[in-house]
Amino acid sequence: MHTRPRVIVIGGGFGGLAAVRALRAAAVDVLLIDRGNHHTFQPLLYQVATAGLAAPSISAPLRHILRDQRNTTVLLGEARRIDIEGRSVDVDGTPHPYDFLIVATGSTHAYFGHDEWARYAPGLKTLDDALRIRARILTAFERAEATRDPAEQMEWLTFVIVGAGATGVELAGTLAEIARHTLKREFRHIDPAAAKVLLIEAGARVLPAFPPSLSTKAQHQLERLGVVVRTGRPVTSVEERSVWIGEERIAARTALWAAGVAASPLGATLGVAVDRAGRVPVTAQLTVAGHPEVFIVGDLTAVPEGSAPLPAIAPAAKQMGHYAATAILAKLAQRRLGPFRYRHFGSLATIGRMAAVADFGRIRLSGILAWWIWLTAHVYFLIGFRNRLVVLIDWAEAYWSYRRGARIIIPIGDSAKP
């Protein structure tokens, strides 16, 4: 009975969603599997974590996005294992057969073998992570206000961000702004502006993916906001009240992890050798060697030896997702398709109000102009008219008043299912 080829896409992030959308007119049946019911606009997660935006503002239900794509079914569930020989995906115990498979499950945080640090230094990959970090940050100021012990007060007012990639830089800049501006006049026993925000980077400079000249500018902009930047030595331990750099102890009750990522563990169930970060090696067609029906897209992909590594950013995932869908259509039409080629449009990172860096190859910008480009690009790509408008209002208000619209502490559970 089932005559149309069946395509399973695992993961509704940028890569998976781009693939599903590119298949909208195809004579195939598409099944999109995701653990959550929504697509998350990850580049703005740090805004949810720092109480600037509400979680719904940067997310949209997958079902709603795809409601009019009649060849597509959305399934809320966790893909546990892929049977690559049997061509089937196990979703919470139920096997789902496929003719083509696109795996787009992305990455999660990694603690370099120290998973016990996760408890004290949460990372930022999902909306739950963002709400958990938000609660930690807001609660730290509350605890500082409540205690009369000056040493404990300073521990609560010290924030350490580990890792100075784009996420670390964004968190540090925004936290400094919250301490110095947003919370002004609100406390009676502490001065929130006395809070210390430390950004620790093991490498030689902040934003290592950018040219050195922009790293220097980014560091200056961070320091102007009051962030203390420390580069060149790695964090060696994280505890409830301490972050250690070798023998040096930083007394801090709040640490945030923006350092390491590991590929989604689903890749390891494919039965092929993954790289050290858990990523799956692919051919020039983004397929698993010997399995032209299985595509790997997004952060889970390890590019072939000799190719330049792809940045872990939304445009790369989208291009891969789109390519995988096109490759399936080509195979069905028995057309040939060239190898995947990544087209880099540029890199952007924001630091704070009117502070950002932008790298477009020969053109490198920092400061106000970079910030406007960042703002425009992020609002433009955010899904759905309503989200865009509400985000703009929140940002306009934050800009004029330093207020942040989502300063509520809500307890977040540990499991991904209610």
**Which sequence positions are flagged as catalytic?**
170
Q: Which residues pair with 228 in a beta bridge?
A: 198
Q: Which residues pair with 191 in a beta bridge?
A: none
The nearest distance, CB 142 to a copy of itself, in angstroms, is: 4
- Rounded distance, CA 302 to CA 282, Å? 6
Nearer to a copy of itself, 51 or 348 (CB): 51
Nearer to a copy of itself, 277 or 379 (CB): 379
Nearer to a copy of itself, 56 or 346 (CB): 56
Best CA proximity match to 136, nearest among 270, 259, 11, 240: 240
The nearest distance, CB 77 to a copy of itself, in angstroms, is: 7
- Rounded distance, CA 159 to CA 252, Å? 6
The per-residue DSSP string of 216-236 comes to HHHHHHHHHTTEEEEESS---
Q: Are 53 and 95 in contact (CB under 8 A)?
A: no
Q: Are 91 and 77 in contact (CB under 8 A)?
A: yes
Residues that bind a copy of itself (CB under 8 A): 36-38, 54-57, 59, 61, 63-64, 67-68, 73-77, 127-128, 131-132, 135-136, 138-139, 142, 145-146, 183-189, 386-387, 389-390, 393-394, 397, 403, 405-418
Nearer to a copy of itself, 36 or 298 (CB): 36
The nearest distance, CB 389 to a copy of itself, in angstroms, is: 6
Nearer to a copy of itself, 36 or 278 (CB): 36
- Rounded distance, CA 327 to CA 23, Å? 11
In the numeric block, which tokens belong to residue 271? 């039965």
- Rounded distance, CA 386 to CA 59, Å? 11
User: Within 10 Å of residue 240's Cβ, how many Cβ atoms?
Assistant: 10
The nearest distance, CB 263 to a copy of itself, in angstroms, is: 23
- Rounded distance, CA 208 to CA 166, Å? 9
The nearest distance, CB 64 to a copy of itself, in angstroms, is: 6
Greatest C-alpha distance within the chain: 74
Fill in the amino acid letter for 194: A
Per-residue DSSP letter, 52: S
Q: Which 3-state string (H, E, C) describes 346-409?
A: CEEEEEECCEEEEEECCEEEECHHHHHHHHHHHHHHCCCHHHHHHHHHHHHHHHHHCCCCCCCC
Nearer to a copy of itself, 34 or 201 (CB): 34
Nearer to a copy of itself, 171 or 183 (CB): 183
Nearer to a copy of itself, 120 or 295 (CB): 120
SS3 assignment, position 15:
helix
SS3 assignment, position 311:
coil
The nearest distance, CB 54 to a copy of itself, in angstroms, is: 4
The nearest distance, CB 202 to a copy of itself, in angstroms, is: 28
CA 212, 214, 219: angle at the middle one, nearest 5?
95
The nearest distance, CB 40 to a copy of itself, in angstroms, is: 9
Fill in the amino acid letter for 161: I
Strand 79-83 with 88-91, pairing: antiparallel
SS3 assignment, position 55:
helix
